[in-house]
Amino acid sequence: MTVSPPEAPVRVLLVESEFHILGGGHFSLLTLIRNLDRERVHTEVVCFGEGEFSRRAEEAGVAVHLLKRKGGVRDLMLIFKLARLSRQFDLVHVNTLDIRAGLAARLALRPLIGHLRVIFPFTWMDRLFAILSDRVIAVSQAARDAFCRNQPDLLGRFVVVPNTVAVDMGARCDIRKDLRLPRDSKLVGVVGRIEALKGLTFLIGAAGRLNLPHIEIHYLIVGEPDSADVEAVSYQQNLVSKVAARGLSDVVHFLGFRPDAHALIEQLDVLVVPSIVISTPAGERTEGFGRVVLEGMAVGTPVVASCAGGMPELIDHARTGLLVQPEDDAALADAIHQVLENPEDSDRMAEAARDRFLQHYGLDAHLKKMESLYRALVPGYVRRS
């Protein structure tokens, strides 16, 4: 009997252009890197600068190539360097819509995949990337539709593949003990990068409204701003000032970035995702997906989230979580109150959310979708017109 040689793995070059601080897109890409079957998909990473993402990618056991961007016309050399590197791979997967990586893939005559993870004011360069690409992965229908609203002819380039999360329950902590809180206190928390988009001022507003004499509530803000983003740093400073002005300093705790975020989310009584929609003359900016919602669903923590961006696709209101209108601290306070005052209903809702996560957003199904997408673009590759 003739034994066929093992199939060679698809060689994928992953490109990450943002490196200052870890966000949801970085964690999603790291989940992919760590869990793809390396006998079937070989990945290496390009970063446009050294930072926490490149360090974690190296820790995951993949080769990391650093190509530092210079800005302006000097980025032309970066494009040519990236094109030369891309020729060593079967396809190029860009974790954003970075046009430099898109042009490099085209110069290298390699299939190009982009990843649309957020809803933001799209520019002509983003649309050019979509035109150059073979596929753009949108993390939600909302993200895809926002991009294609004015250019429906681009819909054919898009495929919706929701994010997944690999919950690391190896980390353990006892946050009540660490903060010296009563064992029966209730914990309401937000987890993610600190910036205006996350709507944290409305959590502070909700905290000021909630007055349950028989329940001691503490609020955990887990995350930090991008130190290179002056507006985000100022936003955090304003949050601290608002907390002090409202007399909430004893119950609102800024914990910074925590590597044990999953363990913290599991200890919360309510995970709040109060993101907003920021309107500008160029367009709207909001959550493309809401990855932290999945993290709450995966560990069985009740979730209260804004009805913004892709989050309504994740939550079936009143069955797997609660949705509130963005920028409405009264509605947010009411929803938190509902979860805390009805523990049996909240437990049923959290269990239904966990079932929904396993059924629709599990890791194995996500990996199969990504590998299938990679393989579909490689054999007998012919550039589409």
User: What's the CATH code of the domain at 40?
Assistant: 3.40.50.2000
Residue 1 located in a structural domain: no
Domain membership of residue 17 as a residue range:
10-164+362-377
What span, in angstroms and rounded, lies between the C-alpha atoms of 262 and 172? 9
- 248 and 309 together in one domain: yes
How many domains, in total, are found in the chain? 2
What span, in angstroms and rounded, lies between the C-alpha atoms of 92 and 265? 34
- 129 and 209 together in one domain: no
Residue 99 located in a structural domain: yes
Partner residues linked to 116 by β-bridges = 138
Residue 169 located in a structural domain: no
What's the predicted TM-score (pTM) here? 0.92
Q: Show the DSSP H helices in 251-362 as ranges.
A: 261-267, 291-299, 311-314, 329-341, 343-360
What span, in angstroms and rounded, lies between the C-alpha atoms of 294 and 361? 8
- 84 and 103 together in one domain: yes
- 199 and 120 together in one domain: no
DSSP strand E in 185-342: where? 186-191, 217-222, 252-256, 270-273, 278-280, 283-285, 303-306, 322-324
Is residue 369 exposed (0-12), middle (13-18) or buried (19+ Cβ within 10 Å)?
middle
How many Cα neighbours within 13 Å face the side chain of 176?
14
Count CB neighbours of 280 within 10 A: 9
- 307 and 257 together in one domain: yes
Residue 184 located in a structural domain: yes
- 142 and 231 together in one domain: no
Residue 5 located in a structural domain: no
Position 255 scores a pLDDT of: 97
- 247 and 367 together in one domain: no
- 241 and 108 together in one domain: no
Residue 382 located in a structural domain: no
Is residue 267 exposed (0-12), middle (13-18) or buried (19+ Cβ within 10 Å)?
middle
- 37 and 135 together in one domain: yes
Position 380 scores a pLDDT of: 60
Residue 139 located in a structural domain: yes
pLDDT (tens digit, 0 to 9) for every residue of the chain, 385 residues total?
A: 554 455 789 999 999 987 667 888 999 999 999 999 999 999 999 998 888 899 999 999 999 999 987 777 777 899 999 999 999 999 999 999 999 999 999 999 999 999 999 999 999 999 999 999 999 999 999 999 999 998 999 999 999 999 999 987 666 889 999 999 999 999 999 999 999 999 999 999 999 999 888 999 999 999 999 888 899 999 999 999 999 999 999 999 999 999 889 899 999 999 999 999 999 898 999 999 999 999 999 999 999 999 999 999 999 999 999 999 999 999 999 999 999 999 999 999 999 999 999 999 999 999 999 999 999 999 764 444 3
- 121 and 258 together in one domain: no
- 154 and 239 together in one domain: no
At a CB cut-off of 8 Å and minimum separation 6, what does 213 contact?
Answer: none
E strand or H helix at 91: strand 91-94
Reduced to 3 states, what is the DSSP secondary structure of residue 285? strand
Q: Return the DSSP state at 265.
A: H
Position 7 scores a pLDDT of: 75
- 133 and 281 together in one domain: no
Residue 332 located in a structural domain: yes
